[in-house]
Amino acid sequence: MPEVIYTIGGAAGQGVESSGAGLAKAHVRAGYHVFAAQDYESRIRGGHNFYQLRASDEPVHAHARHHSILIALDDVSVPQHVPEMRAGGAVIYDAGRDDVDAGAIADAGARAVPAPLIEIATTVGNDKVMANTVALSIASALTNFDFDAIAQIIRENFSRKGGAAVEENLAVARAGYEWGAERVDGFSHRLPPPPAGNGAGPSMLIHGNQAVALGAIAAGCKAVSGYPMTPWSTILEELTGARDLGIVVQQTEDEIAAIAFALGASWGGVRALTGSSGGGFALMVEHLSLAGMNEVPVVIVEVQRGGPATGLATRTEQPDLHFALHAGHGEFPMIVTALKDAVDGFYRTARCFNLAEQYQCPVILLSDLFTSNSLVSVPTSALDLEAVLAEIDRGKTLTYDAIEELAEPYGRYVFSEDGISPRAVPGHPNALVHGMSDEHDEFGGITEEATNRIAMMRKRMRKLEGAHTQMEPPTVYGPAEAPVSLVGWGGTWGVLTEVVDRSEGRFNLIHYTDLQPFPAGGVEPLERANTLVAVEQNFTGQLAQHLRAQTGVEIPNRILKYDGRHMTPGWVMEQLEEIA
Amino acid sequence: MPEVIYTIGGAAGQGVESSGAGLAKAHVRAGYHVFAAQDYESRIRGGHNFYQLRASDEPVHAHARHHSILIALDDVSVPQHVPEMRAGGAVIYDAGRDDVDAGAIADAGARAVPAPLIEIATTVGNDKVMANTVALSIASALTNFDFDAIAQIIRENFSRKGGAAVEENLAVARAGYEWGAERVDGFSHRLPPPPAGNGAGPSMLIHGNQAVALGAIAAGCKAVSGYPMTPWSTILEELTGARDLGIVVQQTEDEIAAIAFALGASWGGVRALTGSSGGGFALMVEHLSLAGMNEVPVVIVEVQRGGPATGLATRTEQPDLHFALHAGHGEFPMIVTALKDAVDGFYRTARCFNLAEQYQCPVILLSDLFTSNSLVSVPTSALDLEAVLAEIDRGKTLTYDAIEELAEPYGRYVFSEDGISPRAVPGHPNALVHGMSDEHDEFGGITEEATNRIAMMRKRMRKLEGAHTQMEPPTVYGPAEAPVSLVGWGGTWGVLTEVVDRSEGRFNLIHYTDLQPFPAGGVEPLERANTLVAVEQNFTGQLAQHLRAQTGVEIPNRILKYDGRHMTPGWVMEQLEEIA
Amino acid sequence: MTTVTPAPSPVTLNDYKPLFAEENTWCAGCGDFGILAALQQALVQLEIAPHRVMVVSGIGCGSKLPDYIRCNGWQTLHGRALPVAQGFRLVQHHMTVLAVTGDGDGLGEGGNHWIHAMRRNVNLTHLVENNQTYGLTKGQTSPTSDPGYISSTTPEGNVEFAINPISVALAAGATFVARGFSGSVKPLRDLIAMAIQHPGYAIVDILQPCVTWNRVEYTYKWFKQRVYDLAEEHDPADRTEAFRRSLEWGDRIPLGVFYREERDTLDAQTTAIQMEPERPVALRELPVSREQFEALKTKLT
Amino acid sequence: MTTVTPAPSPVTLNDYKPLFAEENTWCAGCGDFGILAALQQALVQLEIAPHRVMVVSGIGCGSKLPDYIRCNGWQTLHGRALPVAQGFRLVQHHMTVLAVTGDGDGLGEGGNHWIHAMRRNVNLTHLVENNQTYGLTKGQTSPTSDPGYISSTTPEGNVEFAINPISVALAAGATFVARGFSGSVKPLRDLIAMAIQHPGYAIVDILQPCVTWNRVEYTYKWFKQRVYDLAEEHDPADRTEAFRRSLEWGDRIPLGVFYREERDTLDAQTTAIQMEPERPVALRELPVSREQFEALKTKLT
Ligand SMILES: Cc1ncc(C[n+]2csc(CCOP(=O)(O)OP(=O)(O)O)c2C)c(N)n1
Ligand SMILES: Cc1ncc(C[n+]2csc(CCOP(=O)(O)OP(=O)(O)O)c2C)c(N)n1
Ligand code: SF4
Ligand code: SF4
Ligand SMILES: [Mg+2]
Ligand SMILES: [Mg+2]
């Protein structure tokens, strides 16, 4: 897989993210496959952030801890990232700096490229903020990336500032590109031509949270409530941007209110979504129990980050699996599923709404910080509205037309074989919708009577039997007979599939998404496997524990990462060498 | 086991509880072993409540669904409880009532005793509220219970109302007793003489929540915060009554504040307790994670009730085991233990404070509604302050004397082999206590650095290894080689031991109290057993699932009760007949 | 699809009697009966049919109210009636929405939702069943219990300053602020009717005797001797004056409307609602159009 | 056992400089710097040694303050500084306790604790770092954001009525209510010093420019043009007048003490504390006596 890895490092506020995003977009437009990951601290200015962009002629689904080109905007970048340089890579920095140890760069087998970043920015243009543009252009020249693609993005980004701004930036970029083009000799990290087939339609650059938001929109979600929390916030913000599609979006005073709003809206008859990250999700768990008791469909997105407490607020982890599986007091049906990547997140989110309405219960969608904010290029056709619409299933939701036909007095909780009772949209005289959060009878009225209690518990819990049949068994990726099977879940899909791809048949992957109710077919791949290795982004190996509880299979080997940094394919390979 | 079972049934507000409590106390004073259970609805007046009292010459630890004597104060008592009468039992009700079906009583093999309750109350005394006293006295006469014991309680209860009130009540009681004494012929449910050895010291009548409160007091708990919620409230109320022992007790605005207060007080240097029932506990879970991260000792009592949501607010269940085990976002050490009965609750609560301070982490004590409010007679010597004091261990808590000696600059989170760092009581110039809920370094300052993160996660989680060695393996009760082993946890101890006692060697019991970290020796009894039957007061068999996750042992048979009524030995025996 | 069978007309009190007669579990004489009656009468007076009404409650004695009135209703969690009611209202903005809470429920556990609901001005009516105690959990001190109140959690008398729902409502930006008394059903009915008609968040703080736990003060008699009607002495347009009145407590206790103001409601400012104000969000078609969706994706290319 | 080494005396500003120089992560120019400086100066002015001070914060930009001051400190959870600080205060009632919260933190997520802390009158000082935005999560609308504020969650401008911390504090029973401005450190220092000396809950609402997210209004310049000192025009004993003043916002923004009242603190009414007021609960012996314990059991016989 010929690929180029660009990394831009700098302080918060230095434009790392916007530079990276521009470069990424240019590569997507040019027809490359792109994967871009961000690493940032829990602060608004300063510190050290970096943005990493992989561009290739084949799909890329993970980030790497290697760099073909490092653009060092701050003084942390060189000491931190130079040891990770690929052989023959280049480190670009402003020639005016005296803190850069060019010797260290050479020692790492890379080429130091002190460049007139500020000089070009201030002489060709007249503002040193354009130094980033110079650096990107030099990098593009080195990798043989087409200047026109850069120019196109510059035109778009500066058009609202007027033609002069566009021209000035273009001039600066061109100067940088030319400066770089004169220095490509012997530089080996060159882009292959963009893949031909990739021109079938336009591609977009999308992160996990955007995909979830689009999935909710496609599924007809009409009420969203939430409170800001990294890394969940961008789902709330994306959906705020979609209010003109008729979606009620409410920022609430806290996460308790967020889920309560969602339940109120769902009771009103719409598809409702809320979410948070671990700490905010913790505040919602009493309401999961309420949703379970009163059989209120709701989708809760939990975008995991490093815990416990405030923890590593801007870093990734998968530490909340057990918590999500068992959240809420008392016993009630709840569905828990985890997304693999952005495209999967789109369809899975939409499916969550179907499951929530079919089984009239809370559905938790687990994501993680890494997947939520790393960007991947996908054809726009990959997120297919028609496919979502074709699957929409509101279960036994009674809209007014259906209520009109009701013959018997309506009871919200009538017993039924599958445990599901018709759920009326309130407002119609034929169906007053009445429910109490105490144990209740078929009409929703409070009763403590034992026979009714037993029947109601059975009715509610029976819904899990139906849901069970719809749960997806784990995906087995790679050769069926591989000597070693990795076992993973959720957002590590991209990394782990890349590990399998690189392993030349030595590994395969058993990857779980639907976690509760536990899917039929959930144990067979484990039983068929040779050596099992759980690979998780947490300390305790929560999936492995869950699998033992559900299947009895114990997974003896664990590769666990809990430093807040997402695992890379290379790191996983190294760990596997020690085990296998 | 010759025993008498009295049951008093009536509406809330009819004095069922106070009558029962008086009768129970009288029997304890007379030297009997007593167990008393209450069954009440979630309302303040009306409905149907009952109070059941078992008195015996041997210890009793469970309630029963049989009655030697039924005092029927309302119209629900007869239809509901008569089918449960023991052969030859008696049903006492006011002779003036015309709603009682005496034929049904006879059909049930019991004796109808229409009695002049109101007549005696209004002629011998002059207030019909004394009808209950008449009924109790008649019952006492029938069972051959000593009148003097009744008289003593009456004197105590009415002394603050003055001598005339005492005399009036005594006269009424005596009249009732005489009326009853004339009708004992052929009545077989007679009390044996009180056991002689039971006179070693005074006995008290205590419920689980009182025992927990006493345990906290004995352990030196100095800060209690909470919000009312059935069945936790009486712990808060008992401790409120102990403020003059120097305990700060604060009713807070909600459960979030309750645990936050407790953490603040613990940071201040004292032993702190909070608690709730399921729904209130759900609101505390974010703070468990905070306590885990910042290594703050705290004891949280979770008195379980019927869920989900508001559920069965005044009825018992064990539905929150999984929730408690996995509560809180992110990964951190937490200890979970469940009490067996009142006496165990006393010592276990005290131990929780030791564990919390030794491992500087949250400790959850699980109880349940049934155990929390059923009363059992125990010698006062059974709750031994000295034994608790002898065990007090504050771990690495640094009081000012120790801080005075500190040589090095103090860091709250210094690394150590056992993962525990000395915890200073703030206020001394040698040790400023600084901690941040973000990931932090040894001095408590925020850092996102990966190496530190890994070391801190390991340090915190390492504490579980120490705690693990202190966890109690399950108790095996009954013959080691029994063909069937019941598997239970927490507050079902009393019932299940009684089942074993009655089973003539057919059953034994493997009973778990310490649940997390999972105790060494937790699997062996399961492996040694023949047929395993999990017996739990919930729907999903949560202990059985937990055991599978921890040990791999699957328990094929389950006896589960989830109608909010506590299991009785007889009911469990019946269920076992079907399985074994 | 959204034709609704017209309601039986005229609306009568009988329409609001529970269909499946649940037994009422309130203590005889409880002030909650007066509140229930006043609410039923207000709805009849306003000719609102039961299916157009949604009552959301929390947990407590008073929060059992939805079980005793025939209309749409949900008893939720302790403290959470207001956010549930707001979420409902936003998607069903043609319905009459009431949040019914206890004092412990609405102002203690749910205090945060309360202050934010007021500033948000969602169009709903909030009835506070203010019995100055935690009734259902056996009479513990509540946030509105006056200093000195004796209970199992304050055996020597409460030492905390009581929340004054009227003052706080005025400060937090409520646009309709009133106080009623459950012992005077007719004036209470009228206050509730006004509150329902008010466009925006309307609170009626209802003084409600708890005959079981609050037997010393705050009885029917105690209140009857003290309450008076604000109407003639006070101009409800003046927020500062309303604040001054709200501080009156003890020998004279004002009832009636303290403050009233028209301010845009949240409905009126919610894009999704205003796109098609004549059709509540819950009654619209589910899917977005192909064009809308493609436009969203194009933004990401 | 409880002899405490005397503090270095006199106390200097240097004593409050962090020992293990954490890098400060606030943006250059952030108003939080002024608040930190004013707090440090106030503590020096009052000659309180660092080990006698406990600073509890929530989560947000401003809540990182404990990392930048050398004294006892705990950054807790978003919204929860106040209850943690209260629990601490009750067992360590000789220490100077500060709760430092953001506006989102203290008045949004933590709003319920806030209104109840005020009526409870625990003796602590509450500093609200009121930058009218959620700084740390990237500038979303906060409960104190004025209508019209544009952010990622209100792209067309905020439509909700802003919480006025001063009005709400007056209504909820706070006994010391003041407003400061982080751009004027000296007056702010003096307000904080008064608040610390006040026996009971004291709030200082601090107007704090966020130079990153709030660049249009609420800048240093915007505030400097509007703020004025209440002191000469206003009698802080008059609660209703204080309420009237609290409503002033826009062209003229009052700073200073709005209200001050002496009312028994919770410490003063807490049995356990008053049993031995000269020794904080945390410094007492752990066990109860044998007699006390036997007496408790005897009650149950
Ligand atoms: C989260 C939670 N905490 C506590 C409770 C217990 N609880 C039930 S009702 C109640 C108090 C009710 O008081 P109030 O709201 O004043 O209503 P009232 O009963 O007086 O009408 C409490 C604390 C609960 N159900 N849920
Ligand atoms: C329970 C919870 N919800 C949300 C967050 C995310 N969060 C962190 S800081 C913050 C907002 C901070 O705003 P504010 O309190 O005003 O402080 P500022 O950053 O403006 O100083 C939020 C919402 C969190 N950490 N915990
Ligand atoms: S306890 Fe009080 S509030 Fe509850 S029903 Fe009885 S009288 Fe009413
Ligand atoms: S984002 Fe605003 S509040 Fe936060 S540090 Fe920067 S200027 Fe200060
Ligand atoms: Mg109340
Ligand atoms: Mg802020």
Q: What is the mean pLDDT of chain B?
A: 95
Amino acid at B189: H
Q: Which residue has the higher pLDDT, B267 or B44?
A: B267
Give mean pLDDT, residues D53-59.
Answer: 98
- Six-digit token pair at A288? 């999961």
Measured distance CA(D200)–CA(D193) in Å, rounded: 13
B290 touches chain D (CB under 8 A): yes
CB contact under 8 A, A45 and D79: no
Which of A40, A227, A233, A252 best probes binding to D when mutated, by most D CB atoms within 10 angstroms?
A227
Report CB contact under 8 Å: D212, A45.
yes
pLDDT above 80 for B54: yes
Mean of pLDDT values over C158-172: 96
Cross-chain CB nearest to A248 (options C18, C67, C270): C270
Instruction: Fill in the DSSP letter of residue A65.
Output: S
CA distances from B459 to A41, A277, B441 (A): 23, 24, 11
Q: Which ligand is nearest to the CA of B438?
A: 2
**What tokens appear for B419 in the block?**
């993962």
Substitution target from B153, B385, B442 for chain D, most D beta carbons within 10 A: B385
pLDDT-wise least confident of A430-444, B194-208, B477-491, C221-235: B194-208
CB contact under 8 A, B306 and A330: yes
Asked whether the predicted pLDDT for residue A468 surpasses 90, the reply is: yes
Burial classification of residue B261, based on how many CB atoms lie within 10 Å of its CB (0-12 exposed, 13-18 middle, 19 or more buried): buried
Does B26 score more than 60 pLDDT? yes
Residues of C in contact with A427 (CB under 8 A): 4, 51-52, 72, 92, 94-95, 280, 282-283
Residue B258: pLDDT band with limits 50, 70, 90: very high
Sorting pLDDT into bands at 50, 70 and 90, what band is D3?
very low
A279 at the D interface (CB within 8 A)?
yes
- What's the gap in Å between the CA of B246 and the closest CA on chain D? 4
Sign of the CA dihedral running B144, B149, B150, B151: positive
CB D91 within 8 A of CB D133: no
A308-363 pLDDT, tens digit each: 999 999 999 999 999 999 999 999 999 999 999 999 999 999 999 999 999 999 99
DSSP C201-259: -EEEEEE---TTT--SSSSHHHHHTTEEEGGGT--TT-HHHHHHHHT--SS-EEEEEEE
What percent of chain B stands above pLDDT 70?
99
The finding on whether C104 has its CB within 6 A of some atom of ligand 3 is: no
3-class SS at B249?
A: strand
Q: What is the mean pLDDT of residues B84-100?
A: 94
Average pLDDT over residues A377-394: 96
Tokens in use for D47?
A: 């000659």
Is the per-residue pLDDT at B457 higher than 90? yes
What is the Cα–Cα distance from B526 to B555, expressed in whole angstroms? Answer: 9
Residues 6+ apart with CB under 8 A from C149: C132, C133, C141, C157, C158, C214
* DSSP class of A440: B
A75 interface with D at CB cutoff 8 Å: no
Q: Which residue(s) pair with D57 in the sheet?
A: D75, D100
Show the tokens assigned to B461: 């989680």
- Average pLDDT over chain A, rounded to an integer: 95
**pLDDT the model gives residue B477:** 98
In chain C, which residues touch B (CB < 8 A)? 23, 25-28, 59, 61, 75, 77-79, 104, 108-109, 111, 134-138, 140-141, 143, 152-155, 212
Residue window 410-439, chain B: list those with CB within 8 Å of chain D.
425-438
How far apart are the C-alpha atoms of A161 and A167, rounded to whole Å? 11
How far, in Å, CA of C253 to CA of B402, rounded?
A: 58
Per-residue confidence band for B2, with pLDDT thresholds at 50, 70 and 90? confident
Q: How confident is the model at residue A200 (pLDDT cuts 50, 70, 90)?
A: low
CA distances for C178 relative to C109, C181, C219, D50, D110, angstroms: 22, 10, 20, 48, 26
The residue-averaged pLDDT of C283-301 equals 93
In the predicted structure, residue A199 carries a pLDDT above the cut 80? no
The b/e string for A548-562 (b: 16+ C-beta within 10 A; e otherwise) is: bbbeebebebbbbbb
Rounded to two decimals, the ipTM of the complex is 0.97
d(C-alpha B304, C-alpha B322), whole Å: 12
Cβ of C103 below 6 Å from ligand 1: yes
Q: How far apart are CA A423 and CA C202, in angstroms?
A: 30
pLDDT band at C1 (very low <50, low <70, confident <90, very high): very low
- Token pair for A425: 């949209």
Q: What is the pLDDT of residue B316?
A: 97
E strand or H helix at A565, and its extent? none
Q: How many Å apart are CA B246 and CA C275, to the nearest integer?
A: 62
Q: What is the pLDDT of residue C2?
A: 40
User: C140 is written with which tokens?
Assistant: 């513990």
Q: How far apart are CA D295 and CA B438, in angstroms?
A: 46
Q: Is B139 helix (H, G, I), strand (E, B) or coil?
A: helix
Q: Could you read off the pLDDT of A414-426 as tens digits, one per residue? A: 999 999 999 999 9
Q: Which residues of D5-18 are buried (b: 16+ CB within 10 A; e: fewer)?
A: eeeeeebeeebbeb
Torsion angle of C-alpha atoms B42, B43, B46, B50, degrees rounded to 10? 40
pLDDT grade for D21, boundaries at 50, 70 and 90: low
Q: Is the CB of C212 under 6 A from ligand 3?
A: yes
pLDDT in tens, D239-253: 999 999 999 999 999
Cβ <8 Å between D168 and C168: yes
Question: What pLDDT sits at residue D2?
Answer: 40
DSSP state of C31: T
Task: Tell me which H or E stretch contains D87.
Answer: helix D81-91
Q: Ligand 4 in contact with D140 (CB < 6 A)?
A: no
Strand pairing report for B3-12 and B67-72? parallel
pLDDT, one tens digit per residue, over B199-216 is 567 899 999 999 999 999
Could you read off the pLDDT of C179-238 as tens digits, one per residue? 999 999 999 999 999 999 999 999 999 999 999 998 888 899 999 999 999 998 999 999
Taking the whole predicted model, whether its pTM rises above 0.90 is answered as: yes
Closest-CA residue, ligand 3 atom 1, reads C135
Place of tokens 């768990």: A285
| Residue pointed to by tokens 């010093």 | D193
Task: Provide the CB-side half-sphere exposure for A97 (13 A, CA).
Answer: 20
Whether C241 shows a pLDDT value over 60: the answer reads yes
β-bridge partners, D100: D57, D127
Phi, psi of B563, rounded to the nearest 5 degrees: -100, 10
Residue whose CA lies nearest to ligand 1 atom number 23:
B228
The one-letter amino acid code at B504 reads: E
Q: Average pLDDT, stretch B94-100? A: 93
Residue pLDDT, tens place only, A212-231: 999 999 999 999 999 999 99
Give the three-state DSSP class for A515: strand
* Residue-level pLDDT at C8: 58
Res B153 pLDDT > 50: yes
Chain C hits for D168, Cβ within 8 Å: 115, 168, 171-172
What whole-number distance in Å separates Cα of residue A43 and Cα of residue B509? Answer: 56
Distance D30 CA to ligand 4 centre (A): 5
* Sheet of A434-436, strand order: A434-436, C72-75, C53-57, C96-102, C125-130, C202-207, C176-181, C253-260, C227-229
**Cβ of B436 under 8 Å from any chain A Cβ?**
yes
Strands (E) located in C39-140: 53-57, 72-75, 96-102, 125-130
Residue B280 CA to ligand 1 center (angstroms) comes to: 10
Mean pLDDT over D12-41 rounds to: 91
For residues D85-93, average pLDDT:
98
Joined tokens for residue D67: 């990392």
Give the H/E segment covering residue B304: strand B298-304
Residue type, C151: S
pLDDT band, residue B407 (cuts 50/70/90): confident
Nearest to D22 by CA among A314, B442, B421, A310: B442
To the nearest whole Å, the CA of D35 is away from the closest chain B CA by: 19
The alpha carbon of residue C165 is apart from the nearest alpha carbon of chain D, in Å, by 9
Cis (ω within 30 of 0) for the bond into C10? yes
Q: Each residue of C176-187: pLDDT tens digit?
A: 999 999 999 999
The answer to whether the CB atoms of D138 and A233 lie below 8 A apart is yes
Dihedral sign, CA of B271, B276, B280, B285? positive
For residues A333 and A373, the answer to whether their CB atoms sit within 8 Å is: no
Phi and psi at residue B525, to the nearest 5°: -60, -35
Q: Are B238 and B209 in contact (CB under 8 A)?
A: yes
